[in-house]
Structure 1
Amino acid sequence: MTSARERLRRSVGGFVASAGAGFARPATRMLLLSDGREYTSEQQFAPIWRHRNRLRRDLGLAIDWGPLDGQDDAGWHGLSGYDLIGLKLSFRRSASEAMDIVRRVRETLGQGSATRLVYFDGDDDSAVLWPELVELTDLYVKKHLFTDPADYRRAFIGKSNLTDHAARVAGRSFADDIIPIGQPEPVLTPAKLYLGWNIALDDKIARLPTVAPTTPRSIDICGRVHVSPDSWLGDLRAPAIAALESLAGRWRVAVPRARVSQAAYDAELRAARICVSPFGYGELCWRDFEAIQAGCLLVKPDVGHIRTAPDLFEAGVTYAPVRWDYADLEGVCARYLSDEGARIAIVEEGQRRLRESLGPGWFVERMRVLLAALEKAADEIAKE
């Protein structure tokens, strides 16, 4: 009789079933289990799939994927055939629903199971939406983490530190938001929080060509920062818009409001010497990496409060930070618009780091360290 795991592999065209000759027997079998509801979150798995051959060859890691919704009892019981379960849920789920799912996975595996449970948090921000969930996992992987662990003991207005900032500086209410309170309880076991990899490794960025920063440029500063006035992102970006528009008399500045095609947007970046990239739902966004690949100097609010990998946010080395209120934007732009050599050096270092991180070697090493951290975390918890 065909096992649930084999049925799953065949139904999704799993890598293990189709790997063919030339690979050693896998030392570790990993199942990625996801509800597939948020594209940007699902992209956290993109480099795993992109480099799966190397992961199998170098780490003996064989990877399957399975849909979370619609699993029958046989599918749930098949989880125990894996060494490692990677779980991902949409932030739109209720806390109770998310906890029920994770508890069911834990109960299915059974007490004393050797199967490790890793939660992949694909949300854009640095906060932890469901701190209780951390306690049910062996490792909790984030795209970026607060530099100060004490921030994981804070309760935010809205979902994150950024919504909290919007509420405090602009009086924005999140009472009617789908998630009115974020991280309401402290993370009790911060040792389980693990820095994975950020959106620089998303498929969209991996496909971008690299444009030399030395190519002729007709725009000095671009900032495609306008959003709907109903969005709380407008509270974060209003100072950026005001600062950018005030520079138009001194330099060639583009602060467009109308939406354009992807091709037109790409051309705009390739024509700019500096790209101002404000915060979105999280500290980082695709525009950061699109700008670097297009040969722009990336200017964005200071992100020294987070740790992320690959680290393309070293002040004065790979990007130019500004204050969150953009009061120093003119001075920062003036410095680099008057020193083309300094601008080019920063862009080239950002491109070098990004190119390196998109290669299989960088990611395989990242996964090697993650697996080691998983075992270390399990050992530390066992000693408590």
Structure 2
Amino acid sequence: MKTHVRRTLGGWGAGLATGLRPPECRMLLISDEREYTSEQQFAPIWRHRSRLRRALGLAVDWQSLDAARPASLSRYDLVGLKLSFRRPAGEAMAIAARFAGKGPRLIYFDGDDDSGILWPALLDICDLYVKKHVFADPAAYARRFAGKSNLTDHAARISGRSFAANIIPASGGIDPARLGRLHLGWNIALDDKIARLRPHPPEASRSIDICSRAHTAPDNWLHDLRAPAIRALEAVAGRWTVAIPRQRVSQADYDRELRDARICVSPFGYGELCWRDFEAIMAGCLLVKPDMAHIRTAPDLFVAGETYVPVAWDYADLETACAPYLADEDARLAVVRRAQARLIEALAPPWFIDRFAALLDRAGRH
């Protein structure tokens, strides 16, 4: 109910009632509401809806997929569509086709965790295809992956794990020439969970040198990505104070753990980015993470040596990567403070307004 109220208040009719000028551009967001983390791609739109109206003349409405009808689109300039990755490809394409070419320009918001494009045919019928992060090298989209992404493919290559029986057994193989409508939007740093955080002083007293929560069950493919991190952390536990707990804890205890650590090692999950990256930064931790040079994202908190410290995907260099920052607190603080400042800047309205303005310009709002 709370989410529905926030969406309703973003409507263009409500804007007129509160004294805002008539909108120059009207956008209807449509989603199936099946995946919370994907739906969070819309979170900054709702948070900043009044400012979007004032700064860009944009009014936003929302409808559930079940309620949306193509015949009702005539009063909108843009339609933003979001679907669960669990849908069969044919079903997803049939839904998108209902809203394509009906007058408003169609924007597909891909909120999946990974950098791949699950349904390449959407690139051909949408006016814009928005991702939270994209491969830095467009040629990477031509690669064929075992499973849903480059990360499932990596797991398959290092462990021999098969994805043949998975809901998405293979992906990729997209001609880079089809990527003209691919657009880099904003990442999960702008999710509500992160927006609610308050920065903790990086210089605060800390009793843990390195923390990480990386344990997963061996039958989960994430285990293939994270087990090397655990082994590397266990190997340095005699040199530093290392916390790699297995048991789940409350959010409050987890937050305290991060605020008590100098470094947080954050492995990949279903995608390269995870909330822990930004939770660690806000907690004043130095973020250490597998090398992110293969993707582009915004806000970019993954500038090596400036806002995070990269390590090899097998964590073979974890000790040498962490050692300089545990020996030199000023060096650690410098990186953390830059990361915190950039994250705080991205969470403020002007950053998102500029980001969304670029999206509207690219989509051709009128």
**TM-score range for the pair, normalised by the shorter chain length:** over 0.9
**In structure 2, C-alpha distance between the alignment counterparts of 1:310 and 1:12, rounded to whole Å:** 28
Query: Secondary structure, in 3 states, of the residue corresponding to 2:125?
Result: coil
Q: For residue 103 of structure 1, what is the aligned residue in structure 2?
A: 97
Task: Specify whether residues 149 and 222 from structure 1 end up closer, same or farther in structure 2 by C-alpha distance, changes over 3 A only.
Answer: same
The CA distance in 1 between the partners of 2:199 and 2:174, in whole Å, is 43
Structure 2 residue corresponding to 1:178, chosen from 153, 167, 171: 167
Cα deviation for residue 46 of structure 1 reads 0.2
1:164 matched to 2:153: yes
Alignment check: 8 A CA contact 2:139 2:176 kept = no
Q: Deviations over 1:134-170 (max 9, x none)?
A: 1110000000010000011122110000000111111
Q: Please report how far the alpha carbon of residue 315 of structure 1 lies from its aligned counterpart in structure 2 after TM superposition.
A: 0.2
Alignment match, 2:83: 89
1:364 to 346, 353, 359: 353
Residue 304 of structure 2 is aligned to residue 315 of structure 1: yes
| Counterparts of 1:82 and 1:183, CA distance in 2 | 33
Report SS of the residue matched to 1:307: strand
Q: What is the aligned partner in structure 1 of residue 36 from structure 2?
A: 39
Q: Aligned partners of 2:330 and 2:151: how far apart in 1?
A: 34
1:119 is aligned to 2:113: no
| Corresponding residue to 1:236 among 210, 225, 230 | 225
Gaps of 5+ in 2: none
- Measured in 2, the distance between the counterparts of 1:311 and 1:342 equals 20
Superposed displacement of residue 79, structure 1? 1.5
Q: Does 1:26 align with 2:23?
A: yes
Please say if 1:142 is aligned against 2:131. yes
- State the partner residue of 2:267: 278
Matched AA of 2:57: G
Q: Does residue 16 in structure 1 map to residue 12 in structure 2?
A: yes
Q: Using structure 2 for the length normalisation, give the TM-score.
A: 0.96
Q: Kindly report structure 1 stretches of 4+ aligned residues shifted beyond 6 Å.
A: none
Q: Output the amino acid matched with 1:218.
A: S
SS in 2 for 1:220: strand
Of residues 286, 292, 298, the one that matches 2:287 is: 298
Q: 1:203: Cα distance to partner?
A: 0.2
Helix, strand or coil for the counterpart of 2:215?
coil
| Deviation digits for residues 237-258 of structure 1 (CA, Å, limit 9, x no counterpart) | 1110100011110000001011
Cα 1:217–1:321, aligned 2, differ >3 Å: closer, same or farther? same
Supply the AA of the counterpart residue of 1:233. L
String of CA shifts for 1:321-365, please: whole Å, max 9, x gaps: 000010000011111000100100000000000000001110000
| Gap regions ≥5 residues in structure 1 | 1-7, 379-384
Counterpart for residue 241 of structure 2: 252
**Which residue does 1:381 correspond to in 2?**
none
Read off the aligned partner of 1:63 and give its amino acid letter. Answer: V
The percent of aligned pairs where both chains have the same amino acid is: 64
- What is the number of residues matched between the two proteins? 362
Aligned to 1:64: 61
Shift of 1:306: 0.3
Q: 1:189 is matched by which residue type in structure 2?
A: R
RMSD in angstroms over aligned alpha carbons? 1.8
Contact 2:10 2:49 in 1 (8 A): no
CA distance in 2 between counterparts of 1:147 and 1:184 reads: 16
Partner SS, residue 65 of structure 1: strand
- Show the counterpart of 1:335: 324
Match of 1:5 in 2: none
Tell me, yes or no, if the aligned pair for 1:131 and 1:187 is still in contact at 8 Å.
no
Q: 2:73 corresponds to which letter in structure 1?
A: L
Deviation at 1:189, TM superposition (A): 2.1
Q: For residues 158-211 of structure 1, what are the alpha-carbon distances to aligned partners after superposition, in whole Å with 9 as ceiling and x for unaligned?
A: 000000011111101001111111235435421111000000000000000100
AA aligned to 2:89 is: A
Distance 1:259 1:15 in 2: 40
Cα distance change, pair 366–13 in 1 and its aligned pair in 2 (3 A): closer
Residue 121 of structure 1 aligns to which amino acid in structure 2? Answer: D
Q: Deviations over 1:4-58 (max 9, x none)?
A: xxxx99x945522222243111010000000010000000000000000000001
Alignment of 1:198-213 (within 5 A): 198-213=187-202
> 1:129 maps to what in 2?
118
Q: Does 1:79 align with 2:68?
A: no
Q: Distance in 2 between matches of 1:279 and 1:364?
A: 29
Residue 50 of structure 1 pairs with residue 47 of structure 2: yes
Aligned partners of 1:148, 1:184: CA distance in 2, in Å? Answer: 14
User: C-alpha distance in 1, partners of 2:9/2:354?
Assistant: 26
Amino acid at match of 2:44: P
CA distance in 2, matches of 1:17, 1:286: 34
- 2:59 & 2:144 partners in 1: Cα distance? 39
